[in-house]
Chains A and B, each alone.
Chain A
């Protein structure tokens, strides 16, 4: 039994190592053999004492360094949650900024252990690019933002417009589909990062900026006069955004998946960063007890400490707390929960049971 598991994990590790060398090979066409097999990602991270987490190059509210250079944001919280679960320390994260184009190479090559960069879960990314999306932390859709002075009220009025888009994204493909389906034309201006797009859009080098609606809200919040810009009513796609890891390392995938789920479940169960210490003393709700590690052996099954989820909620907060403090209605970004409310409140958030 133990042997079988060991064999399995060795096979996984080799697969991972192979993949690292494949990407190297793609660039150098000199893929030397992967060397001695090393441990899986979970053991790697534990041994390293730091989690390498891929984030955006900077999108206020989702992932951006604050005035002191500390990364903060909604996606950053997922990285910190995983670091807390594995290493017990929310600051044990090396944040690696990635662009829409570099993110998948960074993950596939092993440069980062996981990617939390408002990345849309799509069929081909999952199946063809061989990644594993472990869940969805934000249900989104693609929108358009235009300066108010243009007087545009619908995306269908955008015939002939110049549109700024980030390359390597689903945005780019949705945009082409939308304009073709509506039989109108546009001129794409491809850019690498959100930071590059802002001056182009503000100087009028593009008429329209299009990306995930959450990203538009975050971008607009950073403008000097956010009120001069409107987000058009059309949402032209489904963009379920979530963290992802490499295919094949299922133990690691489980850790990231359940770290995210623990925050979602905590909100549903009413566990917050404020009351978690008290609840960890034991409650009469067995699911809370299992979540916080006072009952059962869920942590051990993941290869983590028993109080892994308790630490997450204590240090990072539950999903609702993270949402409200980073992108919620009280912040300049001002996003409503909408689809991202708990299923019990009419939203789509639904964590599988902790059992």
Chain B
């Protein structure tokens, strides 16, 4: 008969830090930590000493001095007399702009391509495979340069000039030139805010309706149509309000004036090249994530839903995708991070992102390499952590709820 003897309660002895396997791990981790701290301190000390010896001091005053250079795409007020700090902010916003646009389009492209790659239609499936393989396997820098070159092949603004111009504007409203694409810009007249608010409210209403339809479906089993009503709620009230308020929003069309098109919204060549390249390149990766996610949902789910009489579209959107999202979202986070970091290739086409302003011209003109690179690292770190945090919140929302 086995007797279970209580282990004697040992008092902690210092030697246990080395001899006792329970504590030994901590000891070594602690030693490793100390070494790491010392190593970092030594490197830091060395840096400071060498900087001093070379007569280089770390100083941030240059950020307050006039930058002296102009930037071609500024989302906030900026002139060459603005400070280097302001130039850095211009760069930050440009980075965020192209990263945001890239994430949105890459996701749309990726989801469509990923779903279609699993299509039963042989041609479509093969086309999507070709897209994924072609774009995933060529470096994004090459894509940026290719697209930039394609845009340069568009007609120059001067081709639009004269009595019988060589090129006409698209629909009389859109001008595509080798400097970029010009589209009409909205002009907000008095009363336009009412229209905008109506529009925002109808978006809220649309979601409320869909939610209502869902609860109704779950509680009573009655299926309300959602697609057309959603579209209706989305557009109609704003359009009606637009006419009630006497058409307060008008369009400012781009027009050739002097050397360039003036008016409208300009999407410059660098922005277009960077945005499209990042989108189609990363879209190919996202397509693979989506495909993996869908294939991770067991076939039995689809068959079960099919045997309940659901149509293929509904099976995809109600049964497969919600489960696939759990597999798709984590790698999606890293694709978003990739887009943001890859946007620093902007410099290849002269897009004024943070790497081009702070890490490029400012660094070069002031010679403050260490300060600029530190700031740059800090920026990318903060942005990456923010994207991770936001996407993790979303991931928690869609992940399997274990009760």
Contacts and interface: CB of A to CB of B under 8 A. Distances in A.
A203 B364 contact: no
A275 interface: no
A190 B369 CA distance: 20
A104 B364 contact: yes
B364 A187 contact: no
Given A15-B54, A159-B258, A204-B157, A31 B360 contact: no
B361 A18 contact: no
Which of B54, B179, B370 has the largest count of A CB atoms less than 10 A from its CB?
Answer: B54
B53 A15 contact: yes
B200 interface: no
A21 B50 CA distance: 8
A315 B367 CA distance: 37
B81 interface: yes
10 contacts: A31-B47, A100-B364, A150-B158, A167-B350, A167-B360, A168-B365, A172-B361, A176-B68, A180-B81, A188-B71
A107 B68 CA distance: 24
Interface string B151-169: 0110011100000000000
A100 B396 CA distance: 48
A105 B360 CA distance: 12
Contacts, number: 128
A205 B364 contact: no
B70 A186 contact: yes
Given A15-B53, A177-B68, A25 B367 contact: no
Given A14-B53, A32-B46, A100-B364, 10 more contacts: A27-B369, A29-B374, A30-B43, A30-B47, A128-B366, A160-B257, A168-B360, A190-B352, A199-B152, A200-B152
Given A172-B361, A175-B70, A205-B269, A22 B178 contact: no
B69 A19 contact: no
Interface string A215-234: 00000000000000000000
A29 B43 contact: yes
B50 A25 contact: yes
Given A187-B72, A188-B70, A180 B50 contact: no
A160 B68 contact: no
A25 B370 contact: yes
A151 to B, nearest CB: 11
Interface in A152-195: 158-162, 167-168, 172-173, 175-177, 179-180, 186-192
User: Interface of chain A, helix or strand or loop or mixed?
Assistant: mixed
A57 B165 CA distance: 38
Contacts of B360: 101, 167-168
A301 to B, nearest CB: 28
A124 B66 CA distance: 14
B51 interface: yes
Contacts of B79: 180
Contacts of B260: 160-162, 187
Contacts of A189: 72, 179, 350
Given A104-B364, A173-B68, A176-B80, A191 B54 contact: no
A343 to B, nearest CB: 33
A130 interface: yes
Contacts of B46: 31-33
A203 B68 contact: no
A206 B46 CA distance: 47
A23 B373 CA distance: 11
A203 B152 contact: yes
A14 B366 CA distance: 24
Nearest to A185: B70
A34 interface: yes
Interface in B207-261: 257-260
Given A168-B360, A180-B81, A191 B50 contact: no
Interface of B: 43, 46-47, 50-51, 53-56, 68-72, 79-81, 152-153, 156-158, 178-179, 257-260, 262, 269, 347, 350, 352, 356, 360-361, 364-367, 369-370, 373-374
Interface in A1-42: 14-15, 18-19, 21-23, 25-27, 29-34
The 5 closest A-B pairs by CB, nearest first: A204-B156, A176-B80, A168-B364, A26-B369, A129-B367
Contacts of B80: 176-177, 180
A30 B48 CA distance: 11
B44 to A, nearest CB: 8
B55 A130 contact: yes
A207 interface: yes
Which of B53, B70, B352, B361 has the largest count of A CB atoms less than 10 A from its CB?
Answer: B70
Nearest to B71: A188
Contacts of B152: 199-200, 203, 205
B51 A22 contact: yes
Contact of B69 (A29, A149, A159, A172): A172
B297 to A, nearest CB: 45
Given A33-B46, A160-B257, A204-B157, A168 B361 contact: yes
Which of A14, A15, A200 has the largest count of B CB atoms less than 10 A from its CB?
Answer: A200
Interface in A195-253: 199-200, 203-207
Given A19-B54, A173-B69, A26 B257 contact: no
B262 A160 contact: yes
Given A27-B373, A32-B46, A207 B259 contact: yes
Nearest to B377: A29
A173 B68 CA distance: 6
Given A161-B260, A187-B260, A205-B152, A26 B350 contact: no
Nearest to B367: A129
Contacts of A30: 43, 47
B43 A176 contact: no
Interface string A109-123: 000000000000000
Which of A18, A27, A158 has the largest count of B CB atoms less than 10 A from its CB?
Answer: A18
A280 to B, nearest CB: 43
A19 B367 CA distance: 13
Contact of B156 (A26, A175, A205): A205
A124 B347 CA distance: 25
Contacts of A159: 258
Given A130-B55, A177-B80, A203-B178, A190 B68 contact: no
Nearest to A149: B158
B43 A31 contact: yes
B50 A18 contact: yes
Contacts of A31: 43, 46-47, 50
Contact of A22 (B54, B262, B269, B374): B54
Nearest to B269: A205
